[in-house]
Amino acid sequence: MTENESTSEGQKLCHPRKLEKEDSVNGFQSGAFELDEWLTKYAMVNQRANNAVTYVTATEDRRVVGYYAITVAGVSKQNVPSEVAGGAPPTEVSCILLARLAVDWQYQDRKIGSALFNDALRRAVMLSKSVGVRAFLIHARDAAARSFYMHHAELFQSPTDPLHLMIPIHHIEAAMTQADAAQTPSAIQQL
C-alpha cells in the first residue's frame, strides 16, 4: 500500500496517522470480532486515557480501513528470548507493545497490514530515541497472526508463549538503515 493508493471507489488512502475523533470506525470488520470491537468501543477511550495510541489508515472521507495500537510494556526477563534479553537488567525488559493490528476485510490482500506493521516498527525505533526501550513485542492473537508477523520480520519467540514474539530495537534499526541505503522502503519487511 502506498500513501496514494486508491480504493475501488476511487478514494485515496492516507499514510498511517493517529486516530482522531472525526474518523469513522463504525462498520469496521476485519473478521476478528474482538479486534473490531476494540477499535469501535475502546481505541479512543484508551487513547484519551494515554493507555495506548491507535494509528489508522483511512479513506479521504475518514473511513478507517486498517489500524494498529501500540503502548509500552515491561516483560519479565524469564519470558524474554535470550536473543533479546542479552545484557538487560535481571528483572524486566522494556518494550514497545504492538497490542493490536487489523485490516477491514474489504481492504485485505492490498498489503495494508504489511504497511501498518512496518509503520509500527519504524515508530518504535523513533520512540526508542526518546525513552528507554530494548525491544518490540507482539502478542499475536493466533497462529495465523503469528505467521503473518514471522513472514515480515525475523522475530524471536518467547520461551513461555509461542504467540509472544519479540525483536530487539537495534535489529529493526539495522534493517531500516540497510533499506534506506538501498532506497527500498519495503526492504524492512525482510528483517
Residue burial 76-86, b: 16+ Cβ < 10 Å; e: rest: eeebbbeebbe
Find cell 518490540 and name the residue.
Answer: 136
Mention the CATH class of domain 68-190: alpha beta
Give tens-digit pLDDT for 148-173. Answer: 999 999 999 999 999 999 999 999 99
151: β partners: none
Q: How far apart are CA 136 and CA 149, in angstroms?
A: 12
pLDDT at residue 78 in the model: 84
pLDDT at residue 185 in the model: 54
pLDDT-above-90 percentage for the chain:
75
Find cell 519479565 and name the residue.
Answer: 76
Q: pLDDT confidence of 187, banded at 50, 70, 90? A: very low
Give the single-character DSSP code of 108.
T
Instruction: Evaluate whether 75 touches 137 at the Cβ level (below 8 Å).
Output: yes
For CA atoms 190, 15, 122, 157, the dihedral sign is: negative
CA dihedral 58, 61, 62, 66 (to 10 degrees): -30
Q: How far apart are CA 169 and CA 126, in angstroms?
A: 10
**Where are the domains positioned within the chain?**
68-190
The full 3-state SS of 9-61, as one line of letters, equals CCCEECCCEECCCCCECCCCCCCCHHHHHHHHHHHHHHHHCCCCEEEEEEECC
97: β partners: 71, 137
pLDDT at residue 8 in the model: 53
Closest CA to 134 of 86, 189, 68: 86
Above 60 in pLDDT, residue 61?
A: yes
Q: How far apart are CA 25 and CA 58, in angstroms?
A: 10
pLDDT at residue 59 in the model: 96
Residue with the bigger pLDDT between 100 and 87: it is 100
pTM of the model: 0.88
Q: pLDDT confidence of 9, banded at 50, 70, 90? A: low
Residue with the bigger pLDDT between 77 and 72: it is 72
Q: pLDDT confidence of 3, banded at 50, 70, 90? A: very low
